Amino acid sequence: QVQLVESGGGLVQAGESLRLSCAASGSVFFINFMGWYRQAPGKTRELVATFTTGGTTNYADSVKGRFTISRDRAKNTVYLQMNSLKPEDTAVYYCNGNGRWGYFGQGTQVTVSS
């Protein structure tokens, strides 16, 4: 079984930064790639940023140039550096393994005030 635990969410003002972390544990050998999704109130869950199986990265157009995904393979940890945050970035952010139909953490709330 795979466990994904997020940390680092919080309340910030527009223009500020946050860094999310996600530690994977358990049967981590089942995880081929990791990323981040988010879900805002009344909206469907959407991809924010992810590594691919080839090691490249993909970002949602709305966060390109502001968010950066990184990882520490030795620690089975993935990070999301979020800069220049906007109120529309407010959502629950979920760590993900193996894409939309894979594993998700419990989520961490990010709230950006204007």
Q: What is the pLDDT of residues 79-95, one digit of tens each?
A: 999 999 999 999 999 99
3-state secondary structure of 4: strand
Tokens 């860094």 locate to: 19
What is the pLDDT at residue 114? Answer: 93
What is the pLDDT at residue 107? Answer: 97
Range 58-61, long-range pairs (CB < 8 A, 24+ positions): none
Q: Please say whether the beta carbons of 76 and 95 come within 8 A.
A: no
What is the pLDDT at residue 18? Answer: 98
Element (H, E) at 81: strand 77-82
Cα separation, 66 vs 59, whole angstroms = 10
Any idea how long the chain is?
Answer: 114
